[in-house]
Structure 1
């Protein structure tokens, strides 16, 4: 069976026609992670001489150093190196869901022509760390053609209602906010739908390391001087934030940058890490990935929703086996701010909602 992976690739050009291959970005990331050029070179498979020459080529191209070496202190990125690495991280964070969707569509068409696999499940879910891990794990089973598309929470539920997919991602805040959240999608819910439990994740405020602006909670967003970056309209995370603001009697119009939007949790975190915003809202795992401070605001169940008759599909049994696999569960358990919630258990929707509504919101 054919697998397709599409990755963004930066190339730098000058007016005189000179260009620069982006292979040095991997080396910059390794320097950032290790703090030593020798270790960074070894990590990416370069000799020390090749790494040094590559950095020299980049420095000559840009006319500015990318790293700073200090005797006895190792190596660290210079301001230009930090900016280049941030640009690469932001591009990947923003484009990954769209490129993964495109890769999945191309895989499906090619494998249909090749008749290389059995039809699996069409899964529509909002992009997140647990869902990305699930997709990766499912694709290890080459006997099925999994079609995983990243969509906003509301788009996924509507797709399930229209029979455009068999499984939809659903996130429901714990406590009273869950009722408000579900009221928005009530027209597309049906009595025959079943919940497949998955994880509980923590969402909250992402802040620069050390919280330099002294942010304590959502009320601080209205101070005026703080620059905010949000998720896109229709995303479950943005709706959760709006519900929290309403609960606290706060007006989103007072938040500077409320309409600055990114399409993934990682992209929000990258925006804050770059210094282009002071505060973002999203999952803890994204904040930790970019070394940000995090203030938890809410817990929510991220589950999968399906029709009852879909439970009889052979591929559904394969999906449940993955969710109940101890190795997969250990992988999810490593994600900051994520906790397992009896993955793979099937419940009536009303029973799950009643249970989650009685839980503490944080």
Structure 2
């Protein structure tokens, strides 16, 4: 089943969208595809990943975001873009009966939404150049006055997507100084965008000097796809997307991908269950089976307020 592939017409029929919409998803890198002759095809794994990332998105969009979790304690919102969050959501539903809704916001916007009372679990991978730390400097600044737990989900490698055999010889952040390097960026608020900005500051590289800095994509897969198509020389993202799209990857930093869980009266009933799930050997094995993740700190509380 995993080896089966579909034409764009078949994908359009299955997703109940137009063929133009399918081409747009492919162009944006949200739906991994490859060319066979003059025809674009999508394999079943790529289709399943797309469906998982967008799982429950309709319900999240339709939900009244102004309502607090207290008005609907039987469901929780998990915010973030990594596919391991889909695994977390499905496991929580299966073992606790809690309905999980998915929001695909980036790390910074997710934290802001949590501060505003919208979101129960948010994922963050935000590098702070001043301290060299991940996540806590941002969390402490944004969630002032809130009670929360920071627990690790996974660790993963972040770095450069580059074209095959790395023709521009990009091996470190300082190599972005080189002339005629064309970049593809992430949207404002994404963890990869913040990592890039912090590293540019640390290495005294002007954003204005980077060709393509204003070219924004909304996922790791779409950034890797732009590089794969030769429309950019380099983009910043995680190793897993490079493997999916078969582009070369230059690891530069191990980032901590943490969960921030808001502590409220209503949440107390499932927080302990969520922590037990994260710490279970079975859940860690499932994370490791996805590939590209380290579970050395999975389930460990990094901070509590």
**TM-score normalised to structure 1 length:** 0.64
Q: Does the 8 Å CA contact 2:56/2:102 hold for their aligned counterparts?
A: yes
Distance 1:255 1:347, change over 3 A: closer
Q: Does the 8 Å CA contact 1:206/1:287 hold for their aligned counterparts?
A: yes
The unaligned stretches of length 5 or more in structure 1 are 1-5, 13-27, 33-65, 67-76, 110-116, 351-362
Shift of 1:161: 1.7
Distance 1:131 1:279, change over 3 A: same
Distance 1:95 1:265, change over 3 A: farther
Whether 2:156 is the aligned partner of 1:196: answer: no
Shift of 1:264: 0.8
Whether 2:266 is the aligned partner of 1:258: answer: no
The unaligned stretches of length 5 or more in structure 2 are 1-13, 21-31, 65-71
Q: 1:297 pairs with 228, 248, 252, which one?
A: 252
Matched residue, 1:150: 104
Matches within 5 A, 1:159-198: 159-173=113-127, 176-178=131-133, 182-183=137-138, 186-190=141-145, 192-198=147-153
Q: Does the 8 Å CA contact 2:126/2:194 hold for their aligned counterparts?
A: no
Matched residue, 2:19: 11
Matched residue, 2:186: 231
Matched residue, 1:42: none
Q: Which has a greater percent of helix?
A: 1
Secondary structure of 2:299's match? Answer: coil
Matches within 5 A, 1:33-112: 77-78=36-37, 80-81=38-39, 84-85=40-41, 97=53, 99-100=54-55, 102-105=57-60
Shift of 1:128: 1.5
Q: Does the 8 Å CA contact 2:49/2:83 hold for their aligned counterparts?
A: no
Matches within 5 A, 1:250-289: 250-289=205-244
Shift of 1:282: 0.2
Secondary structure of 2:195's match? Answer: helix
Q: Distance in 2 between matches of 1:255 and 1:335?
A: 34
Whether 2:285 is the aligned partner of 1:330: answer: yes
Instruction: Report the count of equivalent residues.
Output: 273
Whose radius of gyration is greater, 1 or 2? 1
Distance 1:348 1:217, change over 3 A: closer
Q: Distance in 1 between matches of 2:227 and 2:202?
A: 25
Q: Distance in 2 between matches of 1:336 and 1:227?
A: 29
**RMSD of aligned C-alpha atoms?**
3.8
Secondary structure of 2:194's match? Answer: helix
Shift of 1:184: 8.2
Matched residue, 2:300: 345
Q: Distance in 2 between matches of 1:106 and 1:90?
A: 23
Q: Distance in 1 between matches of 2:210 and 2:46?
A: 23
Distance 1:245 1:174, change over 3 A: closer
**TM-score normalised to structure 2 length:** 0.74
